[in-house]
Chains A and B, each alone.
Chain A
Amino acid sequence: MPIADAVARAEEGLGEQRGRTLLVLQDKVDALNRLCADRPAGADGEVYALASALVDMSGFMEIPPFYAAAYSLCDAAHRMAAADAWSWPEVQVHARALSLILANDCQGGEAVDQMLAGLRAVAEQAVHPG
């Protein structure tokens, strides 16, 4: 099989699963929002697992804004837990951004770029306050 055909077939297969995957991502983001509302103690592992799952799934799809936001949350959760400096507001701002990006069908744009830059700043601030 020509390489180009193999790649095209694989991309087509991924495209067929886009809708179903977005629904699963929405379920995970909803779970993240519930955690942010309840703010249970010792949930850092659960947040990281959710963020990691979002990165895992969105990493197969052509949805760069969602992937970037999920990755930022993963990074922030990882670093906050390692530094013993957990902060729910930082998680919440990521959860809101993920919800907004999904509501916008994961489209990019200047506003989304600014939001992602804000998330990166928040993630950095979470570990290096001041």
Chain B
Amino acid sequence: MSKTPDKINLAHSTVLLVDDQPTSLDLLSSIVQGFGVREQLKCPSAKDAVELVQRRSVDLILIDCAMPEMDGYDFVRWLRREASEPIRFTPVIMILGHAARALVAKGRDCGASFIVAKPLTPAVLLKRIIWLGGETRQFVEVENYVGPDRRVRNYGPPPGEEGRRQTDLSGELGEAVEANMDQDDIDMLLKPMKVAL
């Protein structure tokens, strides 16, 4: 089973940061800079971000959810449904300030790869970026949804991560934790037998 890496190299990555609050944009930028990202592109609005991603590709988008005019949800919906390939597959981490439950669901349903609620720590954000690096989810395109498969729970936590629930199992095959059933036992389970009623 693969483990969470203990090193990261983002020196060749380009990250797009989108936030209408200049101070928040600067704070996010300093976090990403600390992670060693080579190139940061900053947009003060989702509309600017739309214009930018049509001109050039980026490796990751970090976007604030709440913005005037076009908000983060509208941007991700546009990206997933209307942007050209391969831009529409770009991983997106949405950053949510006022994380009401309905807003978290809205973020999931618009096609975000991950949603990170504030208060945000660099450790949590970096962990999500690492998870994206090992992303195994299918990209789903159906009438009412376009984006990464939302059925994360079915896959369990990312490989090497411990789940929050006792019943969480990783989606990757690990070493067997109990002996294989022998064929006789299997046959006994499936063989039609007379029972006394």
Chains A and B belong together in one complex: yes
Interface of A toward B, CB cutoff 8 Å: 1-3, 6-14, 16-17, 20-21, 24, 49, 51-53, 55-62, 64, 67, 71, 74-75, 78
Interface residues of B in 10-63 (CB under 8 A from A): 19, 21, 23-24, 26-28, 30-36
Which of B35, B66, B100, B119 neighbours the largest number of chain A CB atoms within 10 Å of its CB? B119
CA of A31 to CA of B7 in the docked complex: distance in angstroms?
44
- CB proximity of B55 to chain A, nearest CB, Å: 27
Write out, one digit per residue, whether chain B residues 74-108 have a CB within 8 A of any chain A CB (1) or not (0).
Answer: 00000000000000000000000110100000000
**Chain-A contact segment, one of B120-128, B136-144, B155-163:** B120-128
CA of A17 to CA of B98 in the docked complex: distance in angstroms?
22
CA of A1 to CA of B26 in the docked complex: distance in angstroms?
22
- How many A-B residue pairs have C-beta atoms within 8 angstroms? Tell me: 104
* 3 A-B pairs with least C-beta separation: A59-B118, A10-B34, A13-B30
B152 within 8 A of A: no
| Size band of the interface chain B makes with A | 20 to 34
In this complex, what residue of B is CB-closest to A8?
B34
**Are B21 and A53 touching (Cβ within 8 A)?**
yes
Q: A7-B126, A10-B32, A10-B126 are in contact. List 16 more A-B contacts (CB 8 A).
A: A1-B9, A2-B6, A3-B130, A10-B34, A10-B35, A13-B30, A14-B30, A14-B122, A16-B30, A20-B23, A53-B24, A57-B24, A59-B118, A59-B120, A60-B27, A61-B119
Measured between beta carbons, the chain B residues less than 8 angstroms from A64 are 119
B192 within 8 A of A: no
B70 within 8 A of A: no
**Are A56 and B66 touching (Cβ within 8 A)?**
yes
Measured between beta carbons, the chain B residues less than 8 angstroms from A3 are 5-8, 126, 130
**Are A67 and B119 touching (Cβ within 8 A)?**
yes
**Are B30 and A17 touching (Cβ within 8 A)?**
yes
**Are A7 and B123 touching (Cβ within 8 A)?**
yes
**Are B33 and A13 touching (Cβ within 8 A)?**
yes
**Are B122 and A56 touching (Cβ within 8 A)?**
no
Say whether, besides A9-B34, A10-B34, A14-B30, A24 and B23 are in contact (CB < 8 Å): yes
Measured between beta carbons, the chain B residues less than 8 angstroms from A13 are 30-31, 33-34
Which of A7, A51, A62, A67 neighbours the largest number of chain B CB atoms within 10 Å of its CB? A7
- Selected A-B contacts with CB under 8 Å, 24 pairs: A1-B8, A7-B34, A7-B123, A10-B30, A10-B31, A10-B35, A11-B122, A13-B30, A13-B31, A13-B34, A17-B27, A17-B30, A21-B27, A49-B68, A52-B97, A55-B98, A55-B118, A56-B21, A56-B66, A57-B27, A60-B28, A61-B119, A71-B98, A78-B100
**Are A2 and B118 touching (Cβ within 8 A)?**
no
- CB proximity of A13 to chain B, nearest CB, Å: 3
Say whether, besides A6-B36, A12-B34, A13-B34, A74 and B98 are in contact (CB < 8 Å): yes
